[in-house]
Amino acid sequence: MGKTTLNIGTISGGRAPNIIPDAAKAELAIRLVSDGREVDQALRAAIGVRAEIREILTLPAMRFAALDGFPTSVVAFTTDIPVLAPAWGEPFLFGPGSIHVAHTLNERIAKRELIAAVDTYARMTQMLLSRAEAQHA
């Protein structure tokens, strides 16, 4: 499922540049492709008693179903799908645009990609409806 990735999303602390901070905080997002216990143990060993570690959210790695004729890939980011999937049926992770600009000040989708996505969504829907009809026949 690719490599583990780490993002230090926020770092904050201190009151002035000439004062040693009395507190600091960093928030990390780690995408694991293996058992998280090993990473957790390594972090705790590195930090020791100098800081507190709090796990805020854990989402499992996902393997999505594939549709014939649609390309698939392994991606190094997370999604809310694990939280939504049980209630929403079989999930597919697809959308126009680039993950490289997602959630940034430069987030955008080219108009041609958005228009092409409409056709792709229609083809996916037709394929899934045909599959459902075949299962109920």
pLDDT per residue of the chain (137 residues) written in tens, 0 to 9: 667 788 888 999 999 999 999 999 999 888 877 777 888 898 899 999 989 998 887 777 778 888 889 888 887 777 888 777 677 778 888 889 888 898 889 999 999 999 999 999 999 999 999 988 988 87
Question: Taking the model in full, what pTM does it have?
Answer: 0.61
Q: For residues 53 and 50, give the distance between their C-alpha atoms in angstroms, rounded to a whole number.
A: 10
Angle at 92 between CA 35 and CA 94, to 5 degrees: 105
What is the distance of C-alpha 65 from the center of its chain?
Answer: 17
Q: Which amino acid is at 123?
A: R
3-state secondary structure of 46: helix
Residue closest to 9 by CA, chosen among 42, 49, 57: 57
